[in-house]
Structure formats: structure tokens, C-alpha cells
Amino acid sequence: MPSPSYFGEVRRYLRDQGWNTSSRRLQEGVFLYGGTRKSADGRQRVVVLAVVDPDVAVTERHLRHLWNVGREKDADAAVVTKAGGLSERVTDVAESNGFTVLESETVRRDGSEPSHERSEYPSDDEGYEIYPSRLRMLLYFAGSVVLALGCGLLLSVGPAIGLYEFVAVALATPLFAAGSVLFFYRLIDYSPVIRIDATGIRYRKFSSMEFIPWDRIESVDVERVEHRGGSTEMLQIAVTEYPEERWWQRLQNGMNKAVLGAEEDAYYVPIDSYGVSSEEVTGAIEQYTDGTIPVLMES
């Protein structure tokens, strides 16, 4: 089984060495970290292949991918580590090809328990609040108003535009009108769309904040979803238990699952629709959980 604790221990180890890191999942139980730090000679780069599932073998394909990424990023070091340690054969192959082998005992600080100090984090009272882009909300509001007015003008023409077109415009008009009201509300009520603190994650759903405590969160995944109008970066929060919902919440969740091609119930937040950076969100989550909850960014 994948080890969320080893995932966090690798991240903490790299951070303790001065690396600013990000990560993405290559496959179940296998992650690739990238890190940078300043040095006397300039900026250093490192790439790390971390196998957090002891049952997953490190293969030649993994090492080849690590080598390719290291060359692409012009990394100063390419590192491989595995929960429970690498086999002697894999260690020999890795070292003979110039990789640095990071022993799991070293990552775990000679067997000590993971540290959960929060001296560098915001206080529990403050939390970490992320606000939407005012410019993005203004553009959405203006666009919704223009489209609603345009639909209204087409409706005034009546059947001259064709029956099917008339029905389509009639259905679209209230949607654009509702959108303009929603985005105007976002402009005048400039409150955070996401709040992350010691208790969990809160994100805005319409006029209320949905609260998800840390002990219910299994992982956080960032996926870019392609659609006809372009693409949307979606924050997917997988939980141990999904609550019962009202009919309109089930409908919204079903639409999100259909767009993502997902089967599991989860919380979905279209972060870049608000002009919010995924790095800002995932970075805050990693700080407050000390890396104990996997934060995944698909390539």
C-alpha cells in the first residue's frame, strides 16, 4: 500500500535541505519531485524519484524517466528513493548511471517520528486565505451582462430567428442573467474562495463555505480538464466519507464527475475560474499538513 507518511517524509527531508519543492504523480505509489534552492554558485536544481509504496518495484523505465527529466531541467542531481529501501541490484544500476541513492533511513532521520512543528506556518487564527482575481470576476460579469442583453435582443425578434434557435436562446438567457448576478455578488462581496488552516479546508460554494476537516481528506489532486471552450484547472479533494447531498448538489457533483471522467465522489473546485494559482493552493495544503496528505499534480 502507498505510504502517505513516506510521501510527507521525503518532502520534509528535501525542505530541511533547503529545497523548494513541487511534486507530481507518475503512477500509483510513484512520485516525481522537483526542487530548487539558492547557493553560492547560483540556483541549484534537483529531481527526485520517490517510490512511496514498498510493493512497487523501481524499474528501468522509472530510471530512464528520471534521467530524461533531469536532463530537461538541467538538474544538478537526480535522486532515487523508496520506502523500505532499494534492492542491491537497483542500487548498483542507479549509482552506475550517476543517480544518487537516498536511503529511506536517511529520509526518516534514523527512524525518528515525522516532525509536525508549525513554527513557519500562519497562526491557527489567521489561516491561509486565497481570494479570487477581481479582474477575472469583472470580466466574467461584463461578459455575462453582454450575453444576457444579446439573448434578450434575439428574443425580441421572435420566431424570425428560427424555432430551435429561439428555444436555445430562451433557455440560455436566464443562465447568463444568473451568471451576471453571481459575478456581481463576487465583486461586491470580496471574500476568500478558499481558506486553509489547522482544522481543514473551506471553499466557497455559492454564498456559503463548505468545510472539509483534515481527518476526512485522503488526497488532493490538481487536474487540467479540456473542454470545448478551452481548459479548466480543477482541484479534486478525495475524502474518506462523502456526505449526503441535496438534489442540486448531486447534480453538480455528477456533472463534475462526467467532465473529469471520474467514478469516485469528491469535492471539485474550479480554481483557475477564480484566477487562483494551483501552486498557491497546494503549497498551503502541504504546509499545514507537513506533507502527510498527498498533493498530486498530474503532468
* 214 vs 200: CA distance, rounded Å: 5
pLDDT, one tens digit per residue, over 86-117 is 999 999 999 998 999 999 889 876 334 443 33
Domain 4-107 listed as CATH 3.40.1350.10: yes
Query: Could you tell me the residue ranges of all domains in the chain?
Result: 4-107, 134-188, 193-297
* 61 vs 283: CA distance, rounded Å: 29
pLDDT, one tens digit per residue, over 31-56 is 888 888 887 777 888 999 999 888 89
pLDDT, one tens digit per residue, over 161-183 is 677 777 777 878 888 888 788 77
Q: How confident is the model at residue 120 (pLDDT cuts 50, 70, 90)?
A: very low
Query: What was the pLDDT predicted at 198?
Result: 74
pTM: 0.49
pLDDT at 127 over 70: no
CATH architecture label of 193-297 = Roll (2.30)
